[in-house]
Amino acid sequence: MENCIFCKIIKGELPSYKIYEDEHNLAFLDINPTTEGHTLVVPKQHFVNFEDIPEEELKKTILIVKKIGKKLKDGLGVESYNVCENNDLAAGQLIPHIHFHLIPRHGNDNLKPWPQTSYSEGRAEEVLKKIKIN
């Protein structure tokens, strides 16, 4: 994709702080990190979102996400990390090339990923009927 920022990073047309690279995936530091070490993992092939990426490619990518997560814990000494994939614009996906965020976390960092609510009486059952598989 010619105007995709991630495709330009993959091709070496834009600079990045590469953490990992193989023939299928690239991992690099986010230039606007939530916390120090915030890393993006992207497949080298251009896929728009979670539904677009073929399962075999997704498997390759998620294994790299796991590898990078362990390295964040070992290398930075962080307690935990969030793995996030913002799927499409309304969910916060700013670049339409599937990517996974790994955000290092410490117990006292006060980051709250999203607010929680509750279902009104009977609403959970209504939602369940619409999305249940099997």
Residue 31, domain CATH:
3.30.428.10
Task: Give the β-pairing of 100-105 and 80-84.
Answer: antiparallel
On the question of pLDDT at 113 being above 80, the answer is no
- Based on the residue annotation, tell me whether 38 is a catalytic residue of this protein: no
d(CA 134, CA 132): 7
Provide the domain count of the chain.
1
CB 25 within 8 A of CB 61: yes
Instruction: Identify the domain containing residue 72 by its residue range.
Output: 5-131
> Which residue among 24, 46, 97, 99 is the active-site one?
99
Calculate what percentage of the chain has a pLDDT beyond 70: 100
d(CA 7, CA 42): 9
pLDDT at res. 83: 97
d(CA 41, CA 25): 7
Over residues 68-81, the mean pLDDT reads 96
pLDDT at res. 119: 96
CB 61 within 8 A of CB 43: yes
d(CA 75, CA 95): 28
Q: Give SS3 for 80.
A: strand
CB 84 within 8 A of CB 69: no
- List the alpha helices (DSSP H) in the chain: 5-11, 55-76, 123-131
